[in-house]
Chain A
């Protein structure tokens, strides 16, 4: 029996998980180092088994609940701030829209300008397409006949 053999089992002896056999007991009786280690392990074991820890303070549960309420309130407040921001933006849009509606002259003038632009663009497109008008008409006729044939065949095979 060596010191290493005993020291490996000192905690188990101290906790009562193992009992020292004859050889271990004899070694401990004659080896000051191992005897001191066992004594120290026993003191540690005694301390740990009787280690006092204070209880939570009496108002602990109420304090936890207050913190939860405060956190919930803060989170609701954040949501409220986002909602309020969105409402302010929406209100601004409505104000701008209403102001636009009341300023009819500006709206009519804007619409007239847009109509002029579209008319000019349409006239230019017609002028450009006029020389090839016969080709466009023929192509449209072909496309229409193709669509009619497709519709007729679909109807025939579905029956």
Chain B
């Protein structure tokens, strides 16, 4: 969405236009849903948390001055909502769950690999997990991630690199 359209949409939302807010939700819902789905191991929470994100967006829109991009601001809310949700409960899996199972040829089946990577994701620091979850989604740029986490662009790349290395080490 062009910056001008986004500003216009935000302005309409700030004037209390329900239709504009519905448009905003439609614009970002799949991205927000996918990010949360990747960050949370408890899939039963995904929809509620995605809704919470948009409730916070709705509540915060009157204070949104457009200094950051709307997407950046929404990513930040997603990260915060997930961190809060995760801090409110104990980790669901122990580290022993991510060790490699004894398979005859050592090869990964797709489903097994997905399961193990998702379990390993649980062990990553919050920032790393958010970056890995968001970076591989279509349309999410390094710059927006850097802005949303308030860290330099180079640090985003370094963190993604380190996150992948940790994933590999957790799978070993």
Residues of A at the B interface (CB closer than 8 Å) are 10-12, 14-15, 37, 40-41, 43-45, 47-49, 51, 53-57, 60-61, 63-65, 67-68, 71
Contacts and interface: CB of A to CB of B under 8 A. Distances in A.
Interface stretch (B4-12, B63-71, B86-94, B161-169): B161-169
Q: Nearest 3 A-B pairs (CB), nearest first? A: A53-B34, A56-B33, A56-B29
B25 A64 contact: yes
Contacts of B55: 64, 67-68, 71
Interface centre among A40, A53, A57, A71, by most chain B C-beta atoms within 10 angstroms, is A53
B30 A10 contact: no
A133 to B, nearest CB: 71
B51 interface: yes
Nearest to A72: B58
A7 B58 CA distance: 46
A12 B161 contact: yes
5 contacts: A40-B168, A47-B117, A61-B26, A61-B29, A65-B21
Contact of B168 (A15, A37, A57): A37
Contact of B132 (A40, A48, A54): A48
Interface residue range, chain B? 20 to 34
B128 interface: no
B121 to A, nearest CB: 10
B161 A64 contact: no
Contact of A64 (B35, B37, B54, B168): B54
Nearest to B132: A48
A49 B136 contact: yes
Contacts of B37: 53-54
Given A41-B164, A56-B50, A64-B54, A51 B22 contact: no
A63 B35 CA distance: 19
Interface in B35-64: 35, 37-38, 47, 50-51, 54-55, 58
B51 A64 contact: yes
B81 interface: no
A30 B106 CA distance: 19
Interface in B122-172: 132, 136-137, 161, 164-165, 167-168, 171-172
Interface centre among B51, B55, B113, B168, by most chain A C-beta atoms within 10 angstroms, is B168
B165 A11 contact: yes
A12 B113 CA distance: 20
Given A11-B164, A64-B55, 20 more contacts: A11-B161, A15-B164, A40-B168, A40-B171, A44-B164, A44-B167, A47-B117, A51-B136, A53-B35, A53-B137, A54-B33, A56-B29, A60-B25, A61-B25, A61-B26, A63-B51, A65-B18, A65-B21, A68-B55, A71-B55
